[in-house]
Amino acid sequence: MISRLLKIFTGFILIFSAGTEAAAADADMNIYAVWYGKSMFQKKFVFYKDKSAESVPFSWVFYYIEFGDKKILVDTGFNDPKMVKVFGITDFKDPVAILKDNGIEADKITDILITHSHFDHIGNAHRFKNAHIIINKDELAELNKNKNLVEVKKYFNGNSKVTVFDQSAVLYDMFTIKKIGGHTKGSSVVFFSNGKDEYCFTGDEVYQYLNITENTGNGSVADHLKNIEFTALLNKGMYKTFIFHDSKYLDMKERFTKVFPAE
């Protein structure tokens, strides 16, 4: 029995399981923010051309999605004590342990959408042994150049569970991961629709909600024009966003909080 079918078009990959395409519209979906630490972060790295020496509160978050019988991660967090120290992260807890505390075993994760290859977004990918992983080709190339993330690189090398895309890919006829290329060369975001509403997991194209409302762009970019084009799109209010470092999560009472549907 074929568990996955791949249709490859120019720069586009459609990925779905047998039977999923027809059932996707009827599948229940719940999304949870997994908050695993907090820190301060210099404004010059958060907001484009900021010259101040000030810092802003910074959360460390990724997302878990239950979609029908699928258990999907958008990025993975990390668990490297050295990086916790380097970035001055406090209240840190291993993201895999947070998932387990909430009844989600690592080997039950079915899919992972990687927005980019920075350590806090891909650092735990090798710990989800049964997951199908989707990543942009430029981000995979950057991962392979990275002198760190040794276990992650080893896990990705020759792994048949890894799907690499050029411009975009669609998972389960629901989630579109699309290359933006602003924050990093292959930096990507994830779009989906629910009823009349449109949603976006912004990856690190956006650090804080103020990047959108003030249309400043990210202070840490490979291509500012691509980044600001994306933030301008969000500024139109067409999409409800899930952000990975926004300070609003610092008020979360729990490390695992339901953020969709809104309650």
> What pLDDT does residue 103 have?
98
Quick check: 19 pLDDT over 70? Answer: no
Please give the C-alpha separations between residue 205 and each of 22, 96, 151, 187, 228, in angstroms, as whole numbers: 32, 24, 26, 7, 9
pLDDT single digits (tens) 191-236? 999 999 999 999 999 999 999 999 999 999 999 999 999 999 999 9
Cβ burial 222-244 (10 Å sphere, 16+ → b, else e): beeebbbebbeebeeeebeebbb
For residues 79-107, give the mean pLDDT: 98
> Measured in whole angstroms, how far is the alpha carbon of residue 127 from the centre of its chain?
16
- The CATH code that applies to domain 4-18+27-247 is 3.60.15.10
Contact 38, 57 (CB under 8 A): yes
User: Is the pLDDT higher at 57 or at 27?
Assistant: 57
Please calculate the CA angle 47-180-15 and round it to the nearest 5 degrees: 140
Q: How far apart are CA 129 and CA 131, in angstroms?
A: 6
- The domain ranges of the chain are 4-18+27-247
- Helix (H), strand (E) at residue 200: strand 197-201
**Cα separation of 246 and 56, whole Å?**
10
Residue 209 backbone zone (phi > 0: left; psi -120 to 50: alpha; other: beta): alpha
243: pLDDT strictly greater than 50? yes
Report pLDDT for 191: 98
pLDDT classification of 253: cutoffs 50, 70, 90: confident
- Within 13 Å, how many C-alpha atoms sit on residue 244's CB side? 28
Q: What is the mean pLDDT of the chain?
A: 91
d(CA 251, CA 91): 13
pLDDT over 90 at 137, yes or no:
yes
pLDDT of residue 139: 98
Averaged over 110-133, what is the pLDDT? 98
